[in-house]
Structure 1
Amino acid sequence: MNVDRAVLAFAGVMILLSLALTVYVSPYWLWFTAFIGANMLQAAFTGFCPAAMIFGKLGFKSGCAFEASKAG
């Protein structure tokens, strides 16, 4: 698995988790979903993604979207 796929998988899990928390705990968890979406949008334009940097430091191979120099 490369950094790009790891970031997408992580974002997907976080979105599903926040939606489950919205349904079962509180509708305020939708703010977390909005934060994830905003982070993904800014990463698409800037190439800066903290999760990509962390996955790069954990040893994941670089992908197309987040180059090794940006991923750590």
Structure 2
Amino acid sequence: MCNDNVIRRFAGVFILLSVALGFLVSPNFFYFTAFVGFNLLQSSFTNFCPLEKILGRFGLFGCRASGASAR
């Protein structure tokens, strides 16, 4: 499990970056903003977060993959 602040930081950076790219490069980047928002919404209902699994696989920020034992 990851610290919730780590997930919020990544989501905030992704959203700000995709909004900036949407205005500066192509409006198609707004689809990425919607994708991040959708993932945040669904994770609030299901407690499943794809970013948490990805960070756990890479061992970043104290996250660990589901089912991994604490060391």
Q: How does 1:27-66 map to 2 (within 5 A)?
A: 27-57=27-57, 58=59, 60=62
Shift of 1:28: 1.2
Q: Gapped runs of 5+ residues in structure 1?
A: 62-67
TM-score, L = length of structure 2: 0.76
What is the RMSD of the two structures over their aligned residues, measured on CA atoms?
1.8
Q: Gapped runs of 5+ residues in structure 2?
A: 67-71
Match of 2:3 in 1: 3
**Which aligned segments of 4 or more residues in structure 1 are displaced greater than 3 angstroms?**
none
Greater RCO (Cα-Cα under 8 Å, separation 6 or more): 1
TM-score, L = length of structure 1: 0.75
Match of 2:69 in 1: none
1:13 aligns with 2:5: no
Aligned residues: 63
Identity of aligned residues (%): 48
Shift of 1:3: 2.5
Q: 40-49 or 51-60, which moves further after superposition?
A: 51-60
